Amino acid sequence: DEAGSSLFLNGLILSTQILDGVGAGVFGTMYILVTSDLSGGTGRFSLTLGITTAAMSIGGTVSGYLGEALAEDLGYKSAFIILGIMACVPAILYLMFMPETLPAYTNQSTKEPHMNHGNPMDRIDEGNEETDQRQPTSTNYVGMMA
């Protein structure tokens, strides 16, 4: 039953691509928020985000070339297993050593005082009074003309 097998394979590929797209969307937002939460108050958010983005880009590039080399030498099944193990190692380290950032949002105490700085989204509209570069609103223009 080749038609049924082909239909199953197409459904599997499509569902995997949908799951991959949803995961990429969630990850793209969450890594920025976690980076902001961990570097908040240090003045190094842009540097930290740049390093994180560069590391992810380099990893994605290198894994493709490494996967190709492994598949040529050992076969594609071995390449998937080796790259899968290589992906699990940092995931396990992340789960073991990544500090929890949730207490900062719920105003609970945390062991890491540098992380207890509130929701990073609350800081978006905060202006620094000395260097506030926001433009006046139209009501301010009317007041200036009168």
- The answer as to whether 10 is a domain residue is yes
> Is residue 140 a part of any domain in this protein?
no
Residue 49 in domain: yes
User: What local confidence, expressed as pLDDT, does residue 140 receive?
Assistant: 43
| Structural domain contains residue 27 | yes
Mean pLDDT is lowest, of 91-100, 101-110, 137-146, for 137-146
- The residue range of the domain holding 61 is 2-120
pLDDT tens digits, 66-92 = 999 999 999 989 999 999 999 899 889
Task: Please state the rounded mean pLDDT for residues 32-61.
Answer: 90
146 domain-assigned:
no
pLDDT of residue 9: 87
Q: How many domains does the chain have?
A: 1
Kindly state the average pLDDT of the residues 19-37: 89
In a domain, 136, yes or no: no
Determine, yes or no, domain membership for 128.
no
Among the ranges given (3-7, 10-14, 86-90), the one the predictor scored with the smallest mean pLDDT: 3-7
Residue with tokens 């969307």: 25
- Cα angle for residues 56, 60, 63 (degrees, 5° grid): 130
- Kindly report whether the global pTM for this prediction surpasses the value 0.75: no
* Short-list 47, 27, 25, CA closest to 36: 47
Answer yes or no: is 24 within a domain.
yes
Does residue 60 surpass a pLDDT of 60? yes
Q: What is the mean pLDDT of the chain?
A: 77
